[in-house]
Each structure stands twice: as structure tokens, then as C-alpha cells.
């Protein structure tokens, strides 16, 4: 039998047949994320979703996972970065009290591998199912010459959620004396990887299979730990009848730059850095790179992935609800008079 010749487009680096094989692999997985609001099937030019109704505000956000993708490529692990991105986006809109409705993904690569593509989308779908939102649509682009090497890819995602006007969290009611409750991160989440990769692989000359000092965890597992979702713990606090006055997702910029995003003028967020144990991976970064402590808290989350602000009278109820949701809450600080910034006390 005569061997089929590749098309001119495939010879130029774009294989439409491989794209079709990839799409065929993901259809059932995407369908598993369907929620009652979805009005269309995968494959249309646009996804359809039912309007949330009167009195509801739509909240939207777009993000990526940065150079964590470099580590995933090194390790050959492709089924977690999609979940990372969904959880990151869920947490971002959650800070304003919004619950997610649907998610849109984008994947760009130099040369598409249908099996890798299916694994990435599987991560998106798993994240969507766990957060109760639909993967409504997306885009995949094969662009030879744009990425440094075949097999490398980039992902980004857009999320849309809803919140009722009465439940919108703006931070405007935060006042001195309010308490700050931290929820532990699973690791780096999706930030600080440019510095982390330099310290681990260039400065310390470590391999992915080496263990993080003082732990039984490899650098592979520590660096690829999935960015957790804080949706269920926050919903548990709301279900307990607690009014949350402010929330911050600790992403790029750490506690220093992210917490002020929830603060009104006239107050500071004061953190006691002795209130929690900094995970070993961050201690390793600081020691190996001789990084200034203040910079560490601006680049990395240092073990605190999410912060809630509640009244002192609601603290016990908040801690109980979070503990019941298995979120391991920590009282990390308090609101004081100030100028709208983060203050770090007992910094080491």
C-alpha cells in the first residue's frame, strides 16, 4: 500500500489530522463538566450559557500558570497544569465572593501532540468538575517557530462566575481590629517559578528526583504540587453565617502586594510571621539564594495561599467552619490603622 504523503500544511509544521485526533480524545472528558447552565455542545464557534438572572453580577478573570510549565515539560507531567489554572482562576474571582459558572481554555504549541493535549485538557476537566463549573469552550493553536522547542506549550484560561449584589465582597467594610485568617498553600501554587527554577537547577544544581532538604518529597513533586482551590472552605464559612469582609488570593507579589488589593484606605494588614511554619521548600530557596526575607514574602506565598478578613466576634465560628472543611486555618494577623499596605512583623 502506498504510504500517504503529508499535506503541505503538515509539512510546514501544522498537522490538522493530529489536531482532530486530539479533539476526539477530549470530547467525553469535556462533556463530563457540563452543568445545568450549559446550552451548547463542544465544537461550536461560541459556548452558550444561561444568564444567572436579576440581582446577579458577573465576575470574570483571565490568567496563566507561568513558567511552572517549564517544570511540567522537564518532568513530562501534563495532567496537572490544567487543574492548576482552573483553581487559580476560581480563587481569583472568589475574592469578590463569586462562585464559578464556566471556564474557557487556550493552548498554544509549536507542534501538537494529541496525547499530551488530551492530558492537559484532562487537568482542565478535573479542575472544573471539582469546582462545579463547566468547561464551555476553548482554542488550540499550533504555531511552528513561535515556541522554543517542539513539545513545549503555553496555556491560559478565562473564568466567569456570579455573585449577588448583597454578597459582593469589596473590602470597604474592613476596619481596625478585624482578624486575618490564613489558609495554607499546597506549595508555590503558580507563582515564583522563574526564581525557583534558577535556585534549584542552576544555583543548587539539583535534579527533579532529588529530595527537598528536610523532607521526603522530591523537587519534582514539590514544584508540581497542584495549586489548591479555596472555594469549598470559603463557602463553608458563608454557610456558617459569617460575613467575610475581605479576601486575598496570594499569587505573584505574595502577601506584600496581594493583601492590599482588598484593603480600604486608612488601614494596614499586619501579619505575625511567627504564626505559621514556613514550608521547607521556601526555606531552601532563601538559604541557597541568600534571598532577603522581605523579598521572599513578595515573590512567594511562604505557605499562606489565601487570606480572609472577619470580625473578631466571628473568628471562632470562622475557624470552626474552616476546620470542618479540612482547610487547616491559621490566625495570621490583624487589621490596624495605616495607609493600605501589608506590614510583616517578626520577619526572619
Query: Tens digit of pLDDT for each residue in 179-194?
Result: 999 999 999 999 999 9
Query: Tens digit of pLDDT for each residue in 31-65?
Result: 778 888 887 776 666 788 888 889 999 999 999 99
Cα→Cα distances 74→15, 21, 121, Å: 24, 24, 19
Task: Assign 3-state DSSP to the chain and report helix, strand, coil percentages, each to 5.
Answer: 35, 25, 40
Q: How many CB atoms lie within 10 A of CB 53?
A: 8
Task: Map 93-155 to HEC letters.
Answer: HHCCCCEEEEEEEEEEECCCCHHHHHHHHHHHHHHHHHHCCEEEEEEEEECCCCCCCCCCEEE
Q: Which CATH class is domain 8-167?
A: alpha beta
The CATH fold of domain 179-345: Phosphoribosyl-aminoimidazole Synthetase; Chain A, domain 2 (3.90.650)
**Residues with pLDDT less than 70, the chain:** 1-27, 29, 42-45
* Confidence at residue 155, expressed as pLDDT on a 0 to 100 scale: 96
Closest by CA position to 212, among listed 187, 190, 183, 185? 187
**DSSP assignment of 290-326, as one string?**
T--HHHHHHHS-TTEEEEEEE-GGGHHHHHHHHHHTT
* Confidence at residue 99, expressed as pLDDT on a 0 to 100 scale: 97
The two domains 8-167 and 179-345 share their CATH topology (first three levels equal)? no
Q: Which three cell numbers stand for residue 72?
A: 511540567
- The pTM score is 0.90
Indicate the domain borders of the chain.
8-167, 179-345
* Confidence at residue 31, expressed as pLDDT on a 0 to 100 scale: 77
Q: Based on DSSP, count helices (H) and strands (E) in the chain, helices before strands.
A: 12, 10
Amino acid at each position: 500500500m502506498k504510504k500517504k504523503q503529508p499535506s503541505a500544511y503538515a509539512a510546514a509544521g501544522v498537522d490538522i489530522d493530529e489536531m482532530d485526533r486530539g479533539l476526539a480524545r477530549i470530547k467525553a472528558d469535556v462533556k463530563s463538566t457540563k452543568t445545568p447552565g450549559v446550552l451548547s455542545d463542544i465544537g461550536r464557534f461560541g459556548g452558550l450559557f444561561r444568564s444567572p438572572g436579576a440581582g446577579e453580577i458577573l465576575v470574570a478573570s483571565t490568567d496563566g500558570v507561568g513558567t511552572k510549565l517549564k517544570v511540567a515539560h522537564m518532568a513530562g507531567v501534563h495532567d496537572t497544569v490544567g487543574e492548576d489554572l482552573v483553581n487559580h482562576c476560581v480563587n481569583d474571582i472568589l475574592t469578590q465572593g463569586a462562585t464559578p459558572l464556566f471556564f474557557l481554555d487556550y493552548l498554544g504549541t509549536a507542534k501538537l501532540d494529541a496525547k499530551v493535549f488530551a492530558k492537559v485538557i484532562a487537568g482542565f476537566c478535573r479542575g472544573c468538575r471539582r469546582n462545579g463549573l463547566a468547561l464551555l469552550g476553548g482554542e488550540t493553536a499550533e504555531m511552528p517557530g513561535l515556541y522554543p522547542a517542539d513539545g513545549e506549550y503555553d496555556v491560559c484560561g478565562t473564568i466567569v462566575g456570579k455573585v449577588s449584589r448583597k454578597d459582593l465582597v469589596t473590602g470597604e467594610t474592613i476596619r481596625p481590629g478585624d482578624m486575618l485568617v490564613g489558609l495554607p498553600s499546597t506549595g508555590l501554587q503558580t507563582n515564583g517559578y522563574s526564581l525557583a527554577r534558577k535556585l534549584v537547577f542552576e544555583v543548587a544544581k539539583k535534579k527533579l528526583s532529588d529530595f527537598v532538604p528536610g523532607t521526603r518529597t522530591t523537587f519534582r513533586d514539590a514544584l508540581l504540587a497542584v495549586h489548591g482551590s479555596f472555594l469549598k472552605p470559603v463557602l463553608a464559612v458563608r454557610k456558617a453565617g459569617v460575613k467575610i469582609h475581605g479576601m486575598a488570593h496570594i499569587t505573584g507579589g505574595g502577601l506584600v502586594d496581594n493583601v492590599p488589593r482588598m484593603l480600604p484606605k486608612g488601614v494596614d494588614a499586619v501579619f505575625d510571621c511567627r504564626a505559621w511554619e514556613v514550608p521547607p521548600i521556601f526555606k531552601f530557596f532563601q538559604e541557597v539564594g541568600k534571598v532577603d526575607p522581605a523579598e521572599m514574602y513578595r515573590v512567594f506565598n511562604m505557605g499562606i495561599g489565601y487570606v480572609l478578613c472577619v470580625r473578631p466576634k466571628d473568628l471562632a465560628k470562622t475557624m470552626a467552619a474552616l476546620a470542618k472543611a479540612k482547610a487547616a486555618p491559621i490566625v495570621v494577623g490583624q487589621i490596624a490603622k495605616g495607609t493600605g499596605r501589608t506590614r510583616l512583623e517578626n520577619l526572619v
